[in-house]
Structure 1
């Protein structure tokens, strides 16, 4: 990792008045959570039809069996890594205002971040497909599939964004507002290939923000709008930034 770039990044962080982090799968892979795309991605071994909203409504039992296998049997044991922990410390020390994330794993909150906007929802919450009642996942017994609503007996769905489903309105609104407000956007572990998430860095840049990017490979932003590109694993880069900030 380029230490000089990390030092330049920390100077920008110290000067920033409203820094926002924008995170993707790369921030959680070192917690044992595979990305959807790329090397080792879920779509290499699992057909994405299981996360199509139409398939879920037609065949909820088959969909839930696969969803439980690839998400609920793994995510519950996942723990925040150094990158999550440094971001939580940065918020606590008022270096960081909020996090916009494409992840559904709840690890930012588990690490201690309070202001997290989940563009693609969260696996931690279930919502009834009939009456829209929401439940924490701990209320459902996933040994019996599909889980059903205590109120109307409708089928419960993970409150994460399926293919052909709208982004949650509140998360989208707040994410775009944060992107417009920030003067420094810290991109970690994402190439943001999916809309509307892909617009977040562009909105920030258009409104005058500086961009720090941490990725193991260059992204579409690296040579266009990024001001400082740190080519490294999320944990490695964030640990060094945390050290330099005396967190």
Structure 2
């Protein structure tokens, strides 16, 4: 990362009246959570169609059997926030960003101390009853008693995440859209910006004139429109951006 460019990007975030961060899988890979769509991603080892809403509705027991295996691979050894999560929490705490919009479902932003986190795709640590809407921890889904049932009403439990074939939760989308619309600077971290409708948030913000700062290992769909486009590891780049903001 060019030091001058980094300092200028930090200055743009400091000058913004409202800045917001948007994160993808690249923020969590350093915590041991594999990405889904990369060359060695999760969908190279699992059939994505097995996690479609239609599969859940038609075969909830088989769906949950595969889901538990997937969760064990993703989170089985326990995962902790990394320096990127911690830097974003510090940026919010210090007033540099309004909050985080995330495509991730691992809950690591909250674990690192971020207060305002909009989870576009839900949270993989929770389950929700399809009948009464009550939520519970993932431990309610036990491999020896599938499909899991709601402790309150006996209804079928579903992972509290957006499955293939489902729309984003209305309220999460409303919150994220409102945050992006108000922002005059958007910090995108660890996302290829290839998944819609999430990718439309920074794109629309940039079209309105918001400053776009992108940190990602690979070129993104919006790299050509970003004022600052860093090809870097989030765990290295974000602490440096935070340090640079101390000068403003």
Could you state the TM-score of these two structures normalised by the residue count of structure 2? 0.94
Secondary structure of 1:135's aligned partner? strand
> How many residue pairs are counted as aligned between the two chains?
246
Q: Deviations over 1:179-217 (max 9, x none)?
A: 110011000011121221111111211222100000111
Q: Deviations over 1:28-64 (max 9, x none)?
A: 1111111110121111111001210000111112111
Task: State the shift of 1:153 in Å.
Answer: 1.6
Task: State the shift of 1:72 in Å.
Answer: 4.6
Residue equivalent to 2:26: 26
Secondary structure of 1:174's aligned partner? helix
**Mapping of 1:78-157 within 5 angstroms?**
78-157=79-158
Residue equivalent to 1:180: 181
Secondary structure of 2:145's aligned partner? coil
Mapped to 2, the partners of 1:226 and 1:110 lie a distance apart of 29
Matched, 1:222 2:226: no
Mapped to 2, the partners of 1:108 and 1:65 lie a distance apart of 27
Mapped to 2, the partners of 1:220 and 1:99 lie a distance apart of 20
Task: State the shift of 1:4 in Å.
Answer: 2.3
Tell me if the contact between 1:27 and 1:234 (Cα under 8 Å) persists in the aligned partners.
yes
Matched, 1:209 2:210: yes
Mapped to 1, the partners of 2:143 and 2:223 lie a distance apart of 42
Task: State the shift of 1:245 in Å.
Answer: 2.8
Task: State the shift of 1:141 in Å.
Answer: 4.0
Residue equivalent to 1:234: 234
Mapped to 2, the partners of 1:201 and 1:246 lie a distance apart of 25
Secondary structure of 2:209's aligned partner? coil
Q: Deviations over 1:39-92 (max 9, x none)?
A: 211111110012100001111121112211212553261111100000001111
Secondary structure of 1:196's aligned partner? coil
Secondary structure of 1:35's aligned partner? coil
Task: State the shift of 1:96 in Å.
Answer: 1.1
Residue equivalent to 2:62: 62
**CA RMSD, aligned part only?**
1.6
Mapped to 2, the partners of 1:13 and 1:138 lie a distance apart of 40
Unaligned runs of 5+ in 1: none
Tell me if the contact between 1:214 and 1:237 (Cα under 8 Å) persists in the aligned partners.
yes
Q: 1:150 to 1:221 in 2, by over 3 A?
A: same
Tell me if the contact between 2:140 and 2:148 (Cα under 8 Å) persists in the aligned partners.
no
Task: State the shift of 1:142 in Å.
Answer: 4.8
Secondary structure of 2:109's aligned partner? helix
Could you state the TM-score of these two structures normalised by the residue count of structure 1? 0.94
Mapped to 2, the partners of 1:211 and 1:182 lie a distance apart of 10
Mapped to 2, the partners of 1:73 and 1:230 lie a distance apart of 30
Tell me if the contact between 1:5 and 1:229 (Cα under 8 Å) persists in the aligned partners.
no
